[in-house]
Structure 1
């Protein structure tokens, strides 16, 4: 005997307290962001407001942007152009996920010295904090925002490169990395994104923007590595000639 088909589950709706807990904010902040127009009004049932998936997505995006250092004014400008919170969050995650460092790590100063294979030195720790490689915590331990970067530096130290030389080189390296990142981001912004923005940011275009980003980001990394290998080869040849008098055409291929 046929029975009634089970009803599809209704879209989850949350009170403001549940919404705040879900996105990791205080109710006060949720109200403040709602007052700034960062989320649409809730569905009202009597005197109670109910919030859905789009509210969760938008507030999650707000929190992510603020955590990454954007000002609230900048977040407001960005959010005002996004027609759908879930789509916008997907695009944002596509943008940052491949480049997001591993989870921050918390270690003691002594553990850091042991990993580097050098004696503990407060001046060294102070320099790491100054460069942003480490952050001091209230309990005296160090928070490492980008463990991959620190790990790479420690390996260079183990190869025998002096600390002072690394400290002198690191800001230059980070500056060059910023410059390269700006080139790639501006390329996307001035072409694919500009066409999309000029079309009025149509909702049906967001999935294509995300697919484009998913393809462009790894290709940008591959192109950078390929260009770096070629540049490194040229520099090695030039230095070998200057220091050893070895002609470039007698060196093994660095390609």
Structure 2
């Protein structure tokens, strides 16, 4: 059996466990593998294929892109454009941010299935924390939950991170506010500089339909560019903040040294 207890770097899952964690079928996992979208597993004892955190997060990102309506060819191009140094956590954050740009698609699942998806048992306190992060909602049935598949994997990771709940809630509000503002501005830009001039050129009906189809392909490209830019900017901001704190500590230590 695979190792459980969170989506850490040392997680090892069989194909059945991987499929259960991602909420897909084993057939789907194998299909993605044959298409080259999912790397092959490592061979464990008795030549059993074992999957790690990178497989799980990549699989969940593929499922999120499928949920957006991307074709397999578009998903392959999308994954190819991801930075080569993307870590499993980067992929989990990327998927959560991509999900925040699309309409919510909650799924109602019983507690047993929720815990399989989480890869761990959940206390009532942890359920409340996931609810506060928006990863799930309670229903009238105390054993059934409405789960946001885009946020649950990242929410499970954050369960063990010592960040105040108020900080998590405020951070989520900031991301949602600015993502909506950016989406509105991009929509205005595209409408004024692309769609409006094209309509005014009086294109043939067939060309108009083709243009509408092209706009469907533009959305995921823009979303990927924005998410990747956000991740890089956040990493730079955090790096600069840590550097400033390190410089301040060094200055303080120098001032305390005896002359």
Question: TM-score, structure 1 length as denominator?
Answer: 0.45
Larger radius of gyration: 1
TM superposition score normalised by structure 2 = 0.45
